[in-house]
Structure 1
Amino acid sequence: MTNTLNSKKVIITGASSGIGERLAWHVAKQGGVPILLARRGERLKQMIEQIEKDTGVAGYADSCDLSDRADIDRAFRAIKETIGDVDALINNAGFGIFESVEMTELDQYESMFQVNVLGLIQCVKAILPSFVSRGGHIVNIASQAGKMSTPKASGYAASKHAVLGFTNALRLEVKSKGVFVTGVNLGPVRTNFFDQADPEGNYQKSVERFMLDPDTVAQKVVKHLFTPKREINLPSWMEAGSKLYQLMPGLTEKLMRKQFEKK
């Protein structure tokens, strides 16, 4: 087993499945210590046991509801008391609901912002004093939706716009303090994210051939831990589309109208 992370302690939120699950495995594979947060405590326990069996690395897990401010505070206090200082935070937890503005309830918007934005910010603030004093790396999983909005994704896109804005401001604030900040902007990934975002499966079917593999995403993120990587953008063709959108939004919306309306 390679040991490029040298026992670095890495918190991963939303770790019980999908990208988070694969992040945990790749962190351990590279010699880091995965610290897993998600609501599914029993699933996290199984993961920790399997990771130790596969890699010899003893991780840590805590059942934590990222929509509950008190529970986030409790979980980070427990990590501090049990593990001590950590070296990296990967904010991976998040969800989306794909529906028109007219049909999306206000409490659904609120729920997305609570987890995707405010929960993320609270996690950052919980570890930031330690990172400023001793260095560290913050990775925020955003989305290409944060760069280019599409129909029926108003709440999700708005929350990821907020994540990008927060991430870019944070990076500038802590750049001189030994803290790396990386934004990760992804297109559709083959995970259970769509079980809630697209329960009928129509959008999944339309983008199936374009979906990213969560293992590939996780491997790339872990590869860039503790390096001054500003952004990771996948897939490359979607990032090109996002850049075109910034330059020529009207033309891009016209050219990609059919793709935009597949939700």
Structure 2
Amino acid sequence: MAARVTLITGASSGIGLELAKVFAAHGHTCVLVARRAELLAELADTIVAAGGPEPVIIPCDLAAAGAVAKLADEIVARDLEVDILVNNAGFGLAGVARSLDREQQLAMIDLNIRTLTDLTLRFSDSVVRHRGGILNVASVAAFLPGPGMAVYYATKAFVLSFTEAQRAELRKAGVRVTALCPGPVPTGFQARAGFVPGMDSKVLTVAAADVARAGYEGLMVNRQVVLPGFAVRAIPVLLRFIPRALVLAAVAKVQQRRS
């Protein structure tokens, strides 16, 4: 009989790393996927030292062509079945879209949207069979237009919309589906994105460990959307009362200060 596992992408750092720790601390056997094998090995050692089940490490660059298919084949070859899928892998780029590298922006779409969708569709049958769950890491950016990070914001809007639709489709099968939508989190993501956190980030920031814990708890109780932190939770509420033009102007001003 195949072993049931929690598959976590982008697990080598940041929110993904903390999610792996939280799931393992609650007894889940995790499959850790990321590009950097040495960091995955360090994380696995940390999990075992803390008394968690020994994770399965699968180094994989999910941005590479055919990577998702190879990952799925590897999971089958190891006689594993995914009952919880955590789609965390992704990145952002700051700057005016027409000035940023086109290929990097298309690669962002591929990883943030195509890979997440591919993984969800490939493992849906397994998740349904085990009445498990899907946790998609989106962002508070999903609720906003994003001049200054236009493509990134748009990818996260897709993740939120797709998550909510999958939640509706899979509800009758007993599957929990949750979107985790944090604000700025102090991780390597910000350096890769190319922006310097400002006062707005300080107000919205929640530590990666706290975001991961909120995401885990939200999935377990089957929340539709998890917004870690009071300031982040306030944003979708405030957006109901603020004209879209003002929101656009405010986001553009914030992004100008960051770049």
Give the distance between the partners of 1:226 and 1:90, measured in 2 at CA.
Answer: 13
- Equivalent residue for 2:197, pick from 198, 204, 210: 204
CA RMSD of aligned residues (A): 2.1
2:109 corresponds to: 113
Most deviating of 129-138 and 250-259: 250-259
Describe the superposition over 1:46-66 as per-residue Cα deviations: whole angstroms up to 9, x where unpaired. 211221122142111101111
SS in 2 for 1:99: coil
- Residue 217 (1) aligns with residue 216 (2): no
Would you say the 8 A contact 1:24–1:34 is kept in 2?
yes
1:100 corresponds to: 96
Would you say the 8 A contact 2:88–2:136 is kept in 1?
yes
TM-score normalised per structure 1? 0.88
SS in 1 for 2:67: helix
TM-score normalised per structure 2? 0.90
Describe the superposition over 1:189-229 as per-residue Cα deviations: whole angstroms up to 9, x where unpaired. 0100011112xx5x324445232100101111122333321
Would you say the 8 A contact 1:146–1:158 is kept in 2?
yes
Quote how far apart the aligned CAs of 1:255 are: 6.4
Give, as a single letter, the amino acid of the residue that structure 1 aligns with 2:157: H
Matches within 5 A, 1:113-132: 113-132=109-128
Give, as a single letter, the amino acid of the residue that structure 2 aligns with 1:164: L
1:143 corresponds to: 139
- Kindly tell me the number of residue pairs found equivalent between the two proteins: 254
2:257 corresponds to: 262
- Equivalent residue for 1:39, pick from 24, 35, 42: 35
CA 1:207 to 1:130, structure 2 compared with 1: closer, same or farther past 3 Å? same
Give, as a single letter, the amino acid of the residue that structure 1 aligns with 2:227: N
Quote how far apart the aligned CAs of 1:81 are: 2.7
CA 1:256 to 1:11, structure 2 compared with 1: closer, same or farther past 3 Å? closer
Give the distance between the partners of 1:113 and 1:260, measured in 2 at CA.
Answer: 20
SS in 2 for 1:87: strand
2:239 corresponds to: 245
Would you say the 8 A contact 1:8–1:31 is kept in 2?
no
Give, as a single letter, the amino acid of the residue that structure 2 aligns with 1:145: A
Describe the superposition over 1:90-139 as per-residue Cα deviations: whole angstroms up to 9, x where unpaired. 11111000010221232122111111010101111121011223311001
Runs of 5+ unmatched residues, structure 2: none
Would you say the 8 A contact 2:147–2:251 is kept in 1?
no
Describe the superposition over 1:171-199 as per-residue Cα deviations: whole angstroms up to 9, x where unpaired. 1111111111101111100100011112x
Give the distance between the partners of 1:188 and 1:154, measured in 2 at CA.
Answer: 16
Give the distance between the partners of 1:122 and 1:134, measured in 2 at CA.
Answer: 19
Quote how far apart the aligned CAs of 1:84 are: 1.9
SS in 1 for 2:89: coil
Would you say the 8 A contact 1:206–1:262 is kept in 2?
no
Give the distance between the partners of 1:118 and 1:128, measured in 2 at CA.
Answer: 15
- Residue 195 (1) aligns with residue 188 (2): no
CA 1:157 to 1:13, structure 2 compared with 1: closer, same or farther past 3 Å? same
Give the distance between the partners of 1:256 and 1:83, measured in 2 at CA.
Answer: 47
Would you say the 8 A contact 2:7–2:30 is kept in 1?
yes
Structure 1: 4+ residue segments shifted above 3 A = 205-208, 250-261
Would you say the 8 A contact 1:244–1:252 is kept in 2?
no
CA 1:146 to 1:256, structure 2 compared with 1: closer, same or farther past 3 Å? closer
Most deviating of 90-99 and 52-61: 52-61
> Percent of counterpart pairs with the same letter?
29
Would you say the 8 A contact 1:69–1:119 is kept in 2?
no
Most deviating of 47-56 and 248-257: 248-257
Quote how far apart the aligned CAs of 1:252 are: 4.1
- Equivalent residue for 1:236, pick from 230, 234, 240: 230
Give the distance between the partners of 2:250 and 2:185, measured in 1 at CA.
Answer: 23
Give, as a single letter, the amino acid of the residue that structure 2 aligns with 1:193: F
Give the distance between the partners of 1:193 and 1:107, measured in 2 at CA.
Answer: 18
